[in-house]
Amino acid sequence: KPTVAMDSFTAASYPYLVKYCLDQGSEIIAHGISVSQMITSKMGEQEEREYIHSSIKAIRRATGTKPRGWLGPEFGESVRTPQLLAEFGVRYVCDFANDEQPYPMKGTSGPLLSLPVSIELDDVVVSWYRHVTIAKWSRLVREAFDVLYRDGRESGRLMVLSLHPWLIGQPFRIKYLDRALAHITKPQRVWKATGKEITDWYFNRE
């Protein structure tokens, strides 16, 4: 089950897409207003509050459920963003690609977990910007998984693949995603979880 990062423009404009994702059992998290509007340090606090609030409100209106997670467009953040997300009840954020394990964010008014995205394996970063072939991308994903799986024998590891349907979903690319996912999901000790499931486990593990 994928965790779908959806911006407020998409949520409001394409209800059939929202319904499809929900019918598949996907979790939908907030993804800002649109990819052309991101959070930056140039935003004032009130402007950023309104931005986050409008995004969360749009997802709640479209899905009937308040989103638990956040992925900013282009991973955009200010120094205030984690605190503001926690104030709005967001429980996890995917904007920080600095670890291979979940970790709690400090200095926030409520519990907020970082679920780091594997940005070096992001299909847009690899294929669109760095022009790596999709066959090599698939091999990189499998090799990265093998290392994380080995390291996770004593302490769990997290692999968050950021995928964009307009790119990876092309007919000539999709088989390479299938190949990578088949490799990842083959071992029995792999937990295929949504962001919410990981967050709930983390905060309730004790």
pLDDT digits (tens, 9 = 90+) for 33-43: 988 888 988 99
Number of helices (H), then strands (E), in the chain: 9, 6
pTM of the model as a whole: 0.93
Query: Mean pLDDT throughout 163-187?
Result: 96
Q: Residue 107 pLDDT > 90, yes or no?
A: no
- With a CB cutoff of 8 Å and minimum separation 6, the contacts of 175 are none
**Per-residue CA distances from 37 to 6, 60, 76, 127 (Å):** 13, 20, 9, 23
Taken as a whole, the chain contains a residue count of 206
pLDDT value of position 66: 96
pLDDT confidence bin for 64, thresholds 50/70/90: very high
Cα(8)–Cα(61) distance, integer angstroms:
10
Percent of the chain with pLDDT over 90: 88
pLDDT in tens, 190-205: 999 999 999 999 999 8
pLDDT confidence bin for 93, thresholds 50/70/90: very high
Secondary structure (DSSP) of 67-135? --EE--GGG---TTHHHHHHHTT--EE----S-SS-EEPSS-SS--EE----GGG-HIIIIIIS---HH
pLDDT value of position 109: 83
pLDDT value of position 206: 60
pLDDT value of position 119: 92
Cα(52)–Cα(188) distance, integer angstroms:
38
CB atoms within 10 A of CB 147: 12
Cα(179)–Cα(187) distance, integer angstroms:
14
pLDDT confidence bin for 88, thresholds 50/70/90: very high
pLDDT value of position 12: 95
Q: Tell me the average pLDDT of the chain.
A: 94
Query: Mean pLDDT throughout 29-51?
Result: 92
pLDDT value of position 173: 96
